[in-house]
Structure 1
Amino acid sequence: MPIERRTIGPATLVLGDALDVLTDLAPGSVGAVLTDPPYCSGGNVRDRAAATSAKYLHHSRRGAYPEFQGDTRDQRSFLAWSTLWMGRARRLVPAGGLLVVFSDWRQLPVTTDAVQCAGWVWRGIVPWDKTEASRPQLGRYRVQAEYAVWATNGSRILAGPVAPGVFRAPVPKVKHHIAGKPVELMAGLLGVMEGPVLDPFMGSGTVGVACVARGLPYIGIEVEPAYYEVACRRLEEAVKAASTVAPNAG
């Protein structure tokens, strides 16, 4: 059950576990799903059960952000969990609606499996090129990309705008989350989506900020109270900024 729910302009932010909250939403009540769940990566090279700051941050940056939950599953449990939440999300989306879910290279195969196990029609992969600003690895290729796996709830008519198949943007210099992504990346992915947009793993609210910029209603769910508060603050700032600009738009 939700622990807390706030309405901020066109956005609804819910504090709670996604698996619980998704069951409370009405079928067909959202237009699309865009989310960046915990990847549970690093099993071959790092301790998967380590703190998220130890896995994803340089030691000099540890303590800069709150830890986030749900990042310790092995691949079998990650597949089962992903299938559960994706299946619950699919019942909320009308026929033809979109699912876009992020993954890194390690979890890309199992993420595409989960999409199909949950009943979505897997349509492709949109790479996010993080540019040459990503960390180099001597004698190796840069780990320069992450991936947005996209799917539809059944068939989708060939109509409407066209979005890029690759996005190129550096990791933000100022982040609000350990795994924070650029607002412009999310805004670009929203270009072919209908609202309300559901984000079951809201984190610091980047998808929500992009939705405000796009004029789309947003529903975000976050289990970690510290990040829930960060997201609420960012959405309040985004809605205020949008309302300030709007009267001068004409």
Structure 2
Amino acid sequence: MKNELIHGDALSVLPTLPANSFDALITDPPYASGGVHAFARQRSPNEKYMQSGAQQLHADFPSDERDQRSHLAWMQLWLAQCNRVLRDGAPVLLFTDWRQLPLTTDALQCAGFTWRGVAVWDKTGGVRPQRGRFSNQAEYVVWGSKGGMPLGRAAPTLPGVFRESVRKADKHHMTGKPTDLMRQLVRICEQGGRILDPFAGSGTTLVAADLEGYSWTGIEMTGHYFDVARARLPSP
């Protein structure tokens, strides 16, 4: 299977991929977060995630406005398809925030995966200040595996906390993650493995996988971000 970026909806594309063909699932799906109440979560991503008065630098994206029940059902649907296409023992890494952390751990297990822990992404000082409150300085990586995960895998020991700031020059998506962060995280995959990202966004996971010597397949529904990712990735 060649390296491939596919333009389409993950729920439509995943059933077309061959079973037992990927060695890791590493993805940053829409959080359907950005507010305590349902009305706040149903606003557009630019309204929810941009600081007041900031210039809009990135395009909006769909699938971020669901309520809790529909978001859990949606997560379970695509994660179940990912379970089918992953090989036994494959690690699964799912980004989330504090609001959706419980739901994400539930969705992982509802789809048949074994939940193994939570890693922390410390965004350092580049976060929105909240006077009289704790800063929302961290996002989380819920991780698990498809069944057993032998300790003798050809992969290194990874830390439980990753300190990486968001740099403007390296931010190609409204919720994009730092390339250096993703280069560390993809190493959970066994050497020479193939990584699947069904919500590729601007392609950072795929770029990181390529730089670290893995093969990859990504899926992205939004035309704008599909074009951004395609421009960042090496030609097949």
Which category describes the TM-score, using the shorter chain as reference length?
A: over 0.9
What are the superposed Cα offsets for residues 20-66 of structure 1, whole Å, 9 maximum, x if unpaired? 10000000111110000000003415622211111111244343111
The residue aligned with 2:42 is: 49
CA distance in 2, matches of 1:137, 1:63: 21
The answer as to whether partners of 2:166 and 2:178 remain within 8 angstroms in 1 is yes
Residue 165 of structure 1 pairs with residue 160 of structure 2: yes
Q: Secondary structure at the match of 2:25?
A: strand
Letter in structure 1 aligned against 2:146: N
When the two structures are aligned, how many residues end up with a matched partner?
230
What is aligned with 2:183? 187
2:34·2:49 contact (CA, 8 Å) conserved in 1?
A: no
* Higher deviation after alignment, 217-226 or 188-197: 188-197
- Equivalent in 13, 17, 21 of residue 29 of structure 1: 21
Partner SS state of residue 148, structure 1:
strand
Find the counterpart in structure 1 of residue 97 from structure 2: 104
**Matched residue of 2:202: which SS?**
coil
Rounded to whole Å, the distance in 2 between the matches of 1:177 and 1:132 is 19
- The alignment yields a C-alpha RMSD, in angstroms, of 1.6
Q: CA deviation at 1:216?
A: 0.6
Q: Which of 7, 25, 29 is residue 15 of structure 1 equivalent to? A: 7
Aligned mates of 1:83, 1:172 — CA distance in 2: 32
Q: 1:93 aligns with which of 81, 86, 95?
A: 86
Task: Letter of the 1:15 partner, please give it.
Answer: H
| CA distance in 1: counterparts of 2:205 and 2:148, whole angstroms | 25
Instruction: Name the aligned partner's letter for residue 129 of structure 1.
Output: D
Report the TM-score, using the length of structure 1 for normalisation. Answer: 0.88
What is the rounded CA distance, in whole Å, between the counterparts of 1:119 and 1:218 in structure 2?
23
Q: Which residue does the alignment assign to 2:75?
A: 82
User: How many angstroms apart in 1 are the aligned matches of 2:28 and 2:90?
Assistant: 18
Note the residue ranges of structure 2 that are not aligned, 5 or more in a row. Answer: none
Which residue number in structure 2 is paired with residue 244 of structure 1?
none
Residue 70 of structure 1 is matched in structure 2 by: 63
- Picking from 196, 202, 205, the partner of 1:198 is 196
Give the conservation status (yes or no) of the 8 Å contact 1:36–1:202: yes
Equivalent residue letter for 1:229: D
Distance 2:113 2:55 in 1: 37
Paired residue for 2:173, among 152, 174, 177?
Answer: 177
Distance (Å, rounded) in 2 between the aligned partners of 1:32 and 1:202: 14
Letter in 2 for 1:170: S
1-side partners of 2:200 and 2:133: how far apart? 33
| 3-state secondary structure, aligned to 1:38 | coil
Whole-Å Cα distance in 2 between the matches of residues 190 and 158 of structure 1? Answer: 17
**TM-score, length-scaled by structure 2:** 0.93
Contact 1:172/1:180 (8 A) holds in 2: no
Letter in 1 for 2:209: C
The residue aligned with 2:226 is 228
Q: Is residue 25–residue 92 contact of structure 1 (8 Å, CA) maintained in 2?
A: yes
Q: What are the ranges of 5 or more consecutive residues in structure 1 without an aligned counterpart?
A: 1-6, 241-250
